[in-house]
Each structure stands twice: as structure tokens, then as C-alpha cells.
């Protein structure tokens, strides 16, 4: 037996090369994992820790000692009807925004494949301008456009004969306020979906589509049976990203509804947590709301990934 054969595998162990091959990816990922640990894991640990204490301004300033209260903050949330109402607002609002963003972004991605290059470039630049607009600026602009007295939208609607919109307040009613904020969220979110799905469509081999056409498949059948299955990895990315963005929405709701609407009718979890932590001086309770929001995001994302795994789209 030759010498290399004797050293190829240790008795009762694995080949050294295979072991190094398994460790090598972790070596390359180590710097990124350290940065993520410092920027994500430690703040999350502090958030969970604070949620177990009665933590107020007196404790922040050092005028009173910390008092461990265990799960009392979570029990307070569970017994608060307003919390459950806000949770329902958050889930419903985020779901509507995600669906509308995917529909608008997907439709424009398909449209972009049928446009001439210069028209497509103009459309992409306009869309990316909306995406690059800061949330505060975009919210202020939309609020001005729908202003009851000076807003362009009300003036146009009243000018075409819809007199009921003269002086109409879009943020007074609960549902119109949610609709206005949702439209702004979709406006600043659809470019990411459009560009991602357009790139996915462009990556599909034209031979596959041509073969389907030769076999007699209609355009709708090609879209349903050929394009959508091949676009599911890209759809997974934009869906998960949209869920994360829309569940943790804060700026648009806070600015456009004046901190949650009349009597808190437009509150979502992030705004509700902000009010409890900073307006009501209950940092422990606000941290508990932050933990619930994080768990909600993780739960929705895991359920979505599980459904994709059952369908064979992810390993």
C-alpha cells in the first residue's frame, strides 16, 4: 500500500480534506457574522432583557433601582384590548401593502420587458427616484398632495364635478387614512419588486418560452406554468423583504396620521411601542412590544419558508 493511501483517511475519522472543506465557508463568513452579532444580536439581547424589567425614566437617570418583574409586561399586553386591536391593524395593513406591492411591481416588471430600451430606462429612473426618496420626505409630499384645502388631488376631483371632495380630509376616517398611507408605502416599495422581478424574467432562457409556444401553450399558460415557477426564488426574496418592511412600518404612519390617527385608530405595533416607551415613559413595556414585533416577523417568515419548502422550492 502506498504512503498517500495510508494518510488519506485517519482510522475512525473523516478525511482531513473533507473536514477543511466544511469549515472553509465558515472561515469566510466569520467577519460578517461578527458584524451581525455586534449590530443585531446584542441589541436584540438588550431589548429582550429590558422587557423583563420595570424600566422608566427614573431608572434611566439612576434615581431609582431596576426592578425585575418577569413576564408582567407581556401579561399587561395580553390583557390590553388596545394591543390586540393594534396587532390586527398591523397584520391587516402589512398584508394589504405586501399584496399590492407585489402586484404593482410584478405588472410593471412584465410591462418593462415589452418596452423599447429608452422608454424602459426612463421608467426605471422614475421608479428608482421614488425608491430613493426618504420616507419622511415622501410622507410629507403625499400629505401635501392630499391636503383638504390646498391638496392637488382634492382640487382635481372637485374640478371634475365630485364636489364632495372639496375640503375632504383623507386622514379623518380610519380606512381612508390606512388607504392613503398604504398607497405611499406601495409607491416607495414597488421599485425594488419591479427591478428584482425584471432581472428574474430576463434570466429565463428564451428557448424555454419558445418551446412552450411551439407546443401550443397560450400566453396565460406560459406565464402560469413556465414563468412563475422559474421566478419563485426571486418572488421569495421580494415577498420576505416586503413582509419585513411593511410589518415594521413606522415613519409613514407616524407622519401621515399624526402619530396614529384620531383616538389611535391607525396605530400599528411600531408606533404603539414608541408611544408606550417614550410618551408614556414605560421603556420595559415598549421593549416587550418590540419583542412581539420581532417574533411576529420571524413567525410569518418561517411559515412562508415552510410553505415553499413543502412545495419543493427551497431545500
Q: Which three cell numbers stand for residue 6?
A: 495510508
Please say if the pLDDT value at position 19 is more than 70: no
Closest among 151, 210, 141, 148 to 173, alpha carbons compared: 148
pLDDT-derived band of residue 313, with 50, 70 and 90 as boundaries? low
pLDDT of residue 213: 80
What is the per-residue pLDDT across 162-177, written as a single tens digit (0 to 9) for each? 888 888 889 898 999 9
Kind and range of the H or E run holding 11: none
pLDDT of residue 7: 46
- The predicted model gives 278-303 an average pLDDT of 88
What is the per-residue pLDDT across 115-131, written as a single tens digit (0 to 9) for each? 888 999 999 999 988 88
pLDDT-derived band of residue 235, with 50, 70 and 90 as boundaries? confident
In angstroms, the CA 5 to CA 66 distance is 65
Please say if the pLDDT value at position 297 is more than 60: yes
Contact between residue 174 and residue 93 where contact means Cβ atoms under 8 Å apart: no
pLDDT-derived band of residue 189, with 50, 70 and 90 as boundaries? very high
CA distances from 276 to 86, 92, 191, 227, 314 (A): 13, 22, 34, 47, 39
In angstroms, the CA 41 to CA 190 distance is 30
Please give the share of the chain, as a percent, with pLDDT higher than 90.
Answer: 37
Residues in the chain: 315
pLDDT of residue 11: 52
pLDDT of residue 253: 93
Contact between residue 278 and residue 286 where contact means Cβ atoms under 8 Å apart: yes
pLDDT of residue 6: 45
pLDDT of residue 2: 47
pLDDT of residue 314: 52
pLDDT-derived band of residue 272, with 50, 70 and 90 as boundaries? very high
Closest among 236, 234, 240 to 204, alpha carbons compared: 234
Q: Which residues contact 91 (CB under 8 A, 6 or more apart)?
A: 247, 296
- The predicted model gives 259-283 an average pLDDT of 89
CATH homologous superfamily, domain 81-310: MetI-like (1.10.3720.10)
Q: Which three cell numbers stand for residue 140?
A: 410629507
- Pairing assessment for the beta strands 53-54 and 67-68 based on DSSP bridges: antiparallel
Please say if the pLDDT value at position 142 is more than 50: yes
pLDDT of residue 191: 92
Please say if the pLDDT value at position 1 is more than 50: no
pLDDT of residue 190: 93
What is the per-residue pLDDT across 199-215, written as a single tens digit (0 to 9) for each? 888 888 888 878 878 87
Please give the share of the chain, as a percent, with pLDDT higher than 70.
Answer: 91
Average pLDDT, the chain: 85
- Residue whose C-alpha cell is 408606550: 276
CA distances from 215 to 2, 210, 220, 222, 223 (A): 58, 9, 14, 10, 14
Torsion over CA: 300, 302, 308, 310 (sign): negative
H helix and E strand count, the chain? 16, 2
pLDDT of residue 232: 83
The dihedral over CA atoms of 83, 88, 93, 99, expressed in degrees to the nearest 10, equals 150
Please say if the pLDDT value at position 21 is more than 90: no
Amino acid at each position: 500500500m502506498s504512503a498517500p493511501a495510508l494518510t488519506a483517511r485517519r482510522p475512525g475519522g473523516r478525511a482531513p480534506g473533507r473536514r477543511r472543506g466544511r469549515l472553509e465557508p465558515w472561515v469566510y463568513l466569520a467577519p460578517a457574522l461578527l458584524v451581525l452579532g455586534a449590530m443585531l444580536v446584542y441589541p436584540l439581547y438588550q431589548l429582550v432583557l429590558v422587557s423583563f424589567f420595570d424600566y422608566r425614566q427614573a431608572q434611566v437617570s439612576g434615581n431609582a433601582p431596576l426592578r425585575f418583574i418577569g413576564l408582567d409586561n407581556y401579561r399587561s399586553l395580553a390583557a390590553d384590548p388596545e394591543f390586540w386591536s393594534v396587532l390586527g391593524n398591523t397584520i391587516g395593513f402589512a398584508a394589504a401593502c405586501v399584496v399590492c406591492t407585489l402586484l404593482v411591481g410584478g405588472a410593471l416588471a412584465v410591462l418593462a420587458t415589452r418596452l423599447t430600451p429608452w422608454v424602459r430606462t426612463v421608467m426605471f429612473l422614475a421608479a428608482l427616484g421614488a425608491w430613493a426618496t426618504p420616507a419622511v420626505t415622501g410622507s410629507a409630499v403625499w400629505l401635501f398632495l392630499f391636503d383638504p384645502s390646498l391638496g392637488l388631488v382634492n382640487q382635481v376631483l372637485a374640478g371634475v364635478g365630485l364636489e364632495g371632495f372639496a375640503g375632504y380630509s383623507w386622514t379623518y376616517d380610519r380606512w381612508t387614512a390606512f388607504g392613503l398611507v398604504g398607497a405611499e408605502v406601495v409607491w416607495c416599495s414597488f421599485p425594488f419588486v419591479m427591478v428584482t422581478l425584471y432581472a428574474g424574467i430576463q434570466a429565463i432562457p428564451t428557448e424555454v418560452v419558445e418551446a412552450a409556444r411551439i407546443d401550443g401553450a397560450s400566453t396565460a399558460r406560459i406565464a402560469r406554468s413556465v414563468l412563475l415557477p422559474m421566478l419563485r426564488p426571486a418572488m421569495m426574496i421580494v415577498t420576505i423583504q416586503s413582509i419585513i418592511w411593511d410589518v415594521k412600518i413606522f415613519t409613514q404612519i407616524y407622519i401621515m396620521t399624526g402619530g396614529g390617527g384620531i383616538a389611535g385608530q391607525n396605530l400599528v405595533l411600531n408606533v404603539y411601542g414608541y408611544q408606550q416607551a417614550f410618551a408614556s415613559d414605560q421603556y420595559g413595556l415598549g421593549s416587550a412590544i418590540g419583542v412581539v414585533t420581532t417574533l411576529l416577523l420571524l413567525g410569518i417568515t418561517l411559515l412562508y419558508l415552510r410553505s415553499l419548502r413543502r412545495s419543493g422550492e427551497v431545500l
